[in-house]
Amino acid sequence: MKNLPPKILLATANQGKVKELRDLVQGLPVQFVSLVELPDFPEVIEDQDTFEANALKKARTIAKAAGMVTLADDSGLCVDALGGRPGVYSARYAGEHATDAQKCLRILDEMRHVPDGQRNARFVCVLALVVPDGEENLFLGVCEGRITKELRGSAGFGYDPIFLFEPEGLTFAEMDRDAKNRVSHRGNALREFASFMKGLAR
């Protein structure tokens, strides 16, 4: 990709994600649209073994269906003491319809005997940018942290209440959204993407 595309489809219906991206690349002559604006998009089953493969599968499928440059993501929590789990299974680790609290409690239960010095974990986010002609680019964001021994905080979502960001001494669920976005895995991946896009505009 040598030039900025006039329009990029975000493979999400989450308007919060759309706004976050628009804020990061404001000033660029690119229109970002979401799946909300395409009612007949195909469902994509995220059944791959890596975040990269899941993000690419989603982006490739939707780019082909829509005929548009497409940006998709996959993300999750990787805990060292659990051999990297839940990883790509983060969304359904406690069952297909489990609540966020149930997901967190399953991790805490599995780690109830893990000592403080062995509770390292990281959030990982991969963004895949796919052009219908086949060009692909990946952007990686990682945030290192530790797993707490109890739920802490009420903001955020997913595993945020048990993920301690040590430089702040707070879990992601105890941080305000702006502070979290400055250090989060997703924020880091989006900044990599935004830098790439700005490079195309030069």
Give the active site residues.
Answer: 74
Dist. CA 150–CA 153, nearest whole Å? 10
Using the structure block, give the residue that is written with the tokens 């403080």: 116
Q: In what order do the strands lie in the sheet with 136-147?
A: 31-34, 7-10, 70-79, 120-130, 136-147, 163-165, 170-171
- φ/ψ of residue 198, rounded to 5: -65, -30
Mapping DSSP to helix (H, G, I), strand (E, B) and coil, where does residue 29 land?
coil
Nearest to 129 by CA among 77, 184, 181, 194: 194
Residue appearing with tokens 């959204």: 177
Whole-angstrom distance between the N-terminal and C-terminal Cα of the chain? 13
Residue in 151, 88, 78, 160 with CA at minimum distance from that of residue 120: 78
- Separation of alpha carbons 57 and 65, rounded Å: 12
Q: Which of 57, 78, 85, 60 is nearest to 70 (CA)?
A: 60
